[in-house]
């Protein structure tokens, strides 16, 4: 996008639909106003909703469509008057998914999952203006009754808050009620977990071979599941035994180098040999259906089924069920019990919760330091311990809060509500409209 002033007029040069670049004059009085006009037009064109345009942006947009010979949308037509449609929750979800900032962000799939539950509860035809604090509090109660963790419910409300923020930017609503709702306490679900090497072997033994690779990668590197499943071949240097992740590929948005234990080299060499013409991903599903990238449900099922297949005496010994992310916590415990330097541990995990001091920002850690640290780690540093706040701590406990039954997930009846937001949107998902020419 470029704004140029020629004489007394400001000209915009941008791609309203993400393809053809156009140039149009505006009646904006300043560079800042011209940039605001460009932003509003670009958002309106890509979302298909022109109701949020102010008078300057609307006049510029109409002239753009006329100059290009495009069919002017009904909401934009200068000679037509249209009553303001009331904004439904579903229409807001559609506009949210088409927003340029949201459509290109890596967290889009999280928003889709979270908003599915919101739409599931309130209904597609619920007017956005009618969603208020009392309804949101009732939503919290309902989701907890269904068995959703407090942190999960909080993420869903945060996604809804993000949706309201985009609607405010589009001038479709004036305020967000989500900001008035207190988030649920997550203390009841806080975990302290260490999984012994033998128990990791036990769980892996109940998983398919392709998923065992993901288990051992997490166990020996401390990487997040998303970092592992999105890993591509060019990011792995087996000669140096280093994985390099760019800022857009990490949760913390910073460069990250992960040293590899020698035990992982044969595993990665084998993964390199298995290829799919449809994907450059390193770890692929290998089963009777062929070789293919894994979907989110496919990634969750093997671990869950392995835990469900554990003998009763094992579950009794664990007291609570381990989750895949516990492998990351186990790696950190192993690093600390092996005497690894704290700065090296943070460099490998990439889990920085505070800003670095000037002293910490200067002085780059070498690959050799990382390799020496990972080679010096031990991975059999105790028995399995799983502590979850609010659960029974006596042997044989069920994991339910003392005196209360554990919340149960409600099963959906056949032919009932859809399983995902994508199925509600349709096969094409959130796609910007193509201008009629």
The model's pLDDT over 303-347, given as tens digits with 9 standing for 90+, comes to 999 999 999 999 999 989 999 999 999 999 999 999 999 989 988
The model's pLDDT over 212-248, given as tens digits with 9 standing for 90+, comes to 999 999 999 999 998 999 999 999 999 999 999 998 8
Q: Secondary structure of the chain in the HEC alphabet?
A: CEEEEECCEEEEEECCCCCCCEEEEECCCCHHHHHHHHHHHHHHHHHCCCCCCCHHHHHHHHHHHHHHCCCCCCCCCCCCCCCCCCCEHHHHHHHHHHCHHHHCCCCHHHHHHHHHHHHHHHCCCCEHHHCCHHHHHHHHHHHHHCCCCHHHHHHHHHHHHHHHHHHHHCCCCCCCHHHHCCCCCCHHHCEEEECCHHHHHHHHHCCCHHHHHHHHHHHHHCCCHHHHHCCEHHHEECCCCEEEECHHHCCCCCCEEEECCCCHHHHHHHHHHCCECCECECCCEEECCEEECCCHHHHHHHHHHHHHCCCHHHHHHHCCCCCCCHHHHHHHHHHHHCCCCHHHHHHHHCCCCCCCCHHHHCCCCCHHHHHHHHHCCCCCCCCCEEEECCCCCCCCCCCCCCCCCCCCCCCCCCCCCCCCHHHHHCCCCCCCCCCCC
pLDDT at 413 over 50: no
Confidence band for 187, pLDDT divided at 50, 70 and 90:
confident
% of the chain beyond a pLDDT of 70: 84
| pTM for this model (two decimals) | 0.63
pLDDT at residue 411, rounded to an integer: 42
Structure tokens, 230: 């999105």
pLDDT at residue 362, rounded to an integer: 65
Ordered by where they begin, the domains of the chain are: 2-68 (no CATH), 89-189 (1.10.150.130), 191-352+366-388 (1.10.443.10)
- Alpha carbon of 163 to those of 20, 47, 78, 225, 367: distances in Å? 28, 14, 29, 26, 42
The number of residues making up the chain comes to 437
Whole-number Å distance between alpha carbons of 319 and 192: 13
- Alpha carbon of 225 to those of 124, 202, 353, 402: distances in Å? 32, 19, 19, 32
Q: Which of 294-303, 305-314, 342-351, 363-372 has the lowest mean pLDDT?
A: 294-303
């Amino acid at each position: 996008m470029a704004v140029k002033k020629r004489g007394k007029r400001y000209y915009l040069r941008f791609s309203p639909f993400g393809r053809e670049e156009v140039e149009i004059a505006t009646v904006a009085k300043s560079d800042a106003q011209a940039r605001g006009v460009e932003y509003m037009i670009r958002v309106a064109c890509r979302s298909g909703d022109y109701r949020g345009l102010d008078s300057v942006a609307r006049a510029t947009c109409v002239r753009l469509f006329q100059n290009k010979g495009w069919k002017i949308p009904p909401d934009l037509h200068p000679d037509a008057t249209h009553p303001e449609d009331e904004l439904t929750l579903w229409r807001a979800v559609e506009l949210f998914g088409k927003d340029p900032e949201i459509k290109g962000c890596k967290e889009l799939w999280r928003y889709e999952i979270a908003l599915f539950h919101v739409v599931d509860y309130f209904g597609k035809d619920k007017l956005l203006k009618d969603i208020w604090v009392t309804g949101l509090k009732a939503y919290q109660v309902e989701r907890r009754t269904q068995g959703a963790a407090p942190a999960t419910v909080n993420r869903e409300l945060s996604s809804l808050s993000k949706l309201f923020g985009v609607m405010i930017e589009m001038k479709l609503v004036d305020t967000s009620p989500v900001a008035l709702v207190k988030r649920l306490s997550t203390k009841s679900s806080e975990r302290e977990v260490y999984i012994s090497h033998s128990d990791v072997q036990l769980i892996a033994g109940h998983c398919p071979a392709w998923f065992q690779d993901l288990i051992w990668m997490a166990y020996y590197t401390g990487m997040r599941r998303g970092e592992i499943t999105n890993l591509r071949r060019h990011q792995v240097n087996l000669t140096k035994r280093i994985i390099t992740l760019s800022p857009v590929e990490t949760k913390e948005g910073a460069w990250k180098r992960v040293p590899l234990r020698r035990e992982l080299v044969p595993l990665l060499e084998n993964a390199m040999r298995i290829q799919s013409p449809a994907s450059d991903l390193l770890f692929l599903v290998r089963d009777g259906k062929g070789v293919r990238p894994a979907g989110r449900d496919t990634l969750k099922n093997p671990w869950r089924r392995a835990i469900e297949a554990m003998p009763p005496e094992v579950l009794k010994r664990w007291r609570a069920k381990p989750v895949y992310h516990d492998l990351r916590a186990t790696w950190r415990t192993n690093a600390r019990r092996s005497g690894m330097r704290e700065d090296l541990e943070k460099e490998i995990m990439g889990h920085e919760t505070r800003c670095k001091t000037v002293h910490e920002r200067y002085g780059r850690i070498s690959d050799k330091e990382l390799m020496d640290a990972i080679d010096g780690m031990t991975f059999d540093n105790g028995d399995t311990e799983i502590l979850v706040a609010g659960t029974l701590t006596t042997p044989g406990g069920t994991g339910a809060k003392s005196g209360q039954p554990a919340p149960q997930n409600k099963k959906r009846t056949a032919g009932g509500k859809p399983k995902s937001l994508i199925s509600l949107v349709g096969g094409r998902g959130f796609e910007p409209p193509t201008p009629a020419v």
